[in-house]
Structure formats: structure tokens, C-alpha cells
Amino acid sequence: MRRIIPSAARSRSVMVAVVLGTALTATGGKAASAPRAAAPADAAPDAIRDITRYCQVCWRNARLPVDRWEDCTQQVFARLLERVDVANWGTLLRDDADDRREFIRAIDAVKKRTQRARKYADLSPEVWDDRARAGAHVREQREAVDLAAEAVLSPRQRKIVELTADGWAVPDIAAELRTTPERVSDEKYKAIRKLRTHLGVDA
């Protein structure tokens, strides 16, 4: 049965999860050697050990850095303490019930959050600067094309170019403008030729 712990008790739950995860990771997942005071009174050591091992397999399969496994497992324990009755932890890996689904959601959320953090952490300041410059260059080019479109294209051609830039396919544009795909292709070709000539691309 799912439960939500009141916010007043949440900090204690998180602390218990931190102690659980730290103790289990430090002992290589051997719950028997973890301090008994670290676990909730009705949490079976076998269940804690199995949950930890399951989490570690998930982190390995997701290629998360080994030095993050402990933190990730602690986050899963924290979420379980908030949402799943500790007495049900022993069946999390066996029963396909709401508690197991909550466990899987906890693992998935922690995994995705860690992957996102790693993705952004891997970007050096130089990479960020390069991407910012590239983004600014693309915006400048788009503005130049927009100005050229206003100067040399008909309203219909501008619409076709805009929809094309937004990823619309020719048949979809034809349906939107209530015309034929052949007409859209012809107008699109003429519009691109006009823009290239105006911007001096063909020069």
C-alpha cells in the first residue's frame, strides 16, 4: 500500500535512507553487517540487501559512474521510505503490485536525474562557449533569412518557407494551405531560389 509521509517526518526518513545506503555500500551490500539501528524496525535485512543489489545492477546497466552508485541507492531508499510501507519491502522484487511499480519509478527517476546531471557536468566552459556562439550564429542567419523573405517572397511563399523550417513535410503543408503537394513543391523551389539570389548565395 502506498503511503505519503508528512513533511515533518520526511527529514528523518531521508536520514535513515542515507544511513542505510552508506552502511550497505560500505559493506559491499552485506546487510547483516550493517548497524541494526540504521534500518527501520520492521525492515528485513534480506530485503534491504536485495534492494541494494538490484539498484547496483540498474546503475551498472545504465553505465552510471561507480562513485555515484551509493548516492543513487540512498535516493531510492529515501523515496521508498516516503511512499512504500517498510513492511512490504520484502516483496518489492517479487510481486507485480503498486509497491513494485513505485520502486521501479524511483529507480528510473534517480537514474534519469543522474544521467542528466552527468551530461551537463561533462560540458566544459569552452564547449558551453562554442555552443553559445553557434546558437548566436544560427539566430543571426535566421534573422537574415526572415528579412530577405519579407523583401522578396509572397505571403504564401513565406508561409511555406516558415512551415518547412519548422519541420513540416510537403503533404502536410499542402493540407494546411488547401492546395496540392505539387504546388507546394513548386512554390518552395521558387522561394528558395529567390532567397539564395537575394542573399548572394549563388553569386
Supply the pLDDT for residue 82: 85
Domain ranges of the chain: 7-121, 130-198
The third-level CATH classification (topology) of the domain covering 130-198 is: Arc Repressor Mutant, subunit A (1.10.10)
Q: What grid cell was written down for 55?
A: 539498484
> What's the confidence (pLDDT) of residue 185?
92
Q: Which is higher by pLDDT, 4 or 115?
A: 115
- The vertex-121 CA angle with 115 and 122, nearest 5°, equals 90
Please tell me whether the overall predicted TM-score, pTM, comes out greater than 0.85 for this model: no
Cell 542573399 appears where?
199
Provide the pLDDT confidence category of residue 63 given band limits of 50, 70 and 90: confident
- Of 177, 175, 135, whose CA–CA distance to 158 is shortest? 177
* Three cell numbers written together for 112: 534519469
